[in-house]
Amino acid sequence: MKIDVSTLPEDSEQLKQILLEILERHDRETSILHEQVRHLRALLFSRTSEKTPVVNNKVQLPLFDMPEPSDVEPADPGVEVTGHTRRKRGRKPLPEDLPRIEVVHDIDDKDKVCRCGCELTRIGEEVSEQLDIVPARVQVIRHIRPKYACRNCEGVQDEGPTVKVAPPPAQIIPKSIATAGLLSHILVAKFVDHLPFYRQEKLFARIGLELSRASMCNWAMQAAKACQPLLNLLQEEVLAGSYIHADETTVQVLKEPGRKPTSKSYMWIFQRGDPDRQVLIYQYHPTRSGDVARNFLDGFRGYVQTDGYSGYDFLDQVDGIRHVGCWAHARRKFKDVVRAQGKNRKRGSADKALGYISRLYSLEKKWKKTGLVREEIHRLRQEQSRPILDDFYRWLVKRSSQTPPKGLLGQAISYSLRQWDRLVGYLEDGRLSMDNNRAENSIRPFVVGRKNWLFSGTPEGAKASALIYSLVETARANRQEPYNYLRYIFEKIPLAATLEDYEAMLPWNIDPRQLIGQLGGD
Provide the pLDDT for residue 150.
83
With vertex at residue 95, the alpha carbon angle to CA 89 and CA 96, rounded to the nearest 5 degrees, is 115
Beta bridge partners of 113: 119
- pLDDT bin (cut points 50, 70, 90) of residue 483 is very high
- For the segment 293-320, the average pLDDT, to the nearest whole number, is 95
- Pairing of the two strands 163-165 and 147-149: antiparallel
Whether residue 521 has pLDDT greater than 60 = no
Q: Do residues 479 and 512 make contact, with C-beta atoms less than 8 angstroms apart?
A: yes
Provide the pLDDT for residue 36.
60
- For the segment 352-370, the average pLDDT, to the nearest whole number, is 94
Q: What residues does CATH 3.30.420.10 cover in the chain?
A: 178-325+436-522
- pLDDT bin (cut points 50, 70, 90) of residue 330 is very high
Strands of 280-285's sheet in order across = 280-285, 264-272, 243-252, 302-305, 321-324
- pLDDT bin (cut points 50, 70, 90) of residue 310 is very high
Provide the pLDDT for residue 26.
66
- pLDDT bin (cut points 50, 70, 90) of residue 77 is very low
Q: What backbone torsions phi and psi does residue 397 show, to the nearest 5 degrees?
A: -60, -45
Distance CA(234)–CA(278), nearest Å, equals 10
Mean pLDDT score of the chain: 84
Whether residue 305 has pLDDT greater than 90 = yes
Q: How many helices (DSSP H) and strands (DSSP E) are in the chain? A: 17, 9
- pLDDT bin (cut points 50, 70, 90) of residue 3 is low
Q: Do residues 337 and 408 make contact, with C-beta atoms less than 8 angstroms apart?
A: yes
For residue 12, the surrounding DSSP H or E stretch is helix 12-45
Whether residue 237 has pLDDT greater than 60 = yes
Residue 440 neighbours by CB distance under 10 Å: 18
Q: Three-state SS for 455?
A: coil
Rounded-to-10 torsion of CA 383, 389, 395, 397: -130
Fold topology of 178-325+436-522: Nucleotidyltransferase; domain 5 (3.30.420)
Provide the pLDDT for residue 407.
86
Whether residue 59 has pLDDT greater than 70 = no
Q: Do residues 343 and 38 make contact, with C-beta atoms less than 8 angstroms apart?
A: no
Which letter, b or e, does each residue of 214-247 get, where b requires 16 or more Cβ atoms within 10 Å of its Cβ? Answer: ebbbebbbbbbebbeebbeebbebbbebebbbbb
Whether residue 421 has pLDDT greater than 90 = yes
pLDDT digits (tens, 9 = 90+) for 27-58: 666 766 655 665 566 555 555 555 554 444 44
Provide the pLDDT for residue 440.
85
Q: What is the pTM of this model?
A: 0.78
For 171-175, the CB contacts below 8 A with 24+ separation are 171/494, 172/222, 172/223, 172/226, 172/490, 172/491, 172/493, 172/494, 173/219, 173/222, 173/223, 173/226
Provide the pLDDT for residue 158.
59
Q: Three-state SS for 379?
A: helix
With vertex at residue 433, the alpha carbon angle to CA 429 and CA 435, rounded to the nearest 5 degrees, is 135
Provide the pLDDT for residue 56.
46
pLDDT digits (tens, 9 = 90+) for 511-520: 888 887 565 4
For residue 459, the surrounding DSSP H or E stretch is helix 459-477
Provide the pLDDT for residue 67.
38
Q: Do residues 269 and 439 make contact, with C-beta atoms less than 8 angstroms apart?
A: yes
DSSP 89: P
Distance CA(468)–CA(480), nearest Å, equals 15
DSSP 199: H
Q: What backbone torsions phi and psi does residue 282 show, to the nearest 5 degrees?
A: -100, 140
pLDDT digits (tens, 9 = 90+) for 427-456: 999 999 999 998 888 888 777 777 666 667
How much of the chain exceeds pLDDT 90, in percent? 53
Beta bridge partners of 456: 253
pLDDT digits (tens, 9 = 90+) for 126-174: 998 888 888 778 889 999 999 998 877 765 655 656 789 999 999 999 9
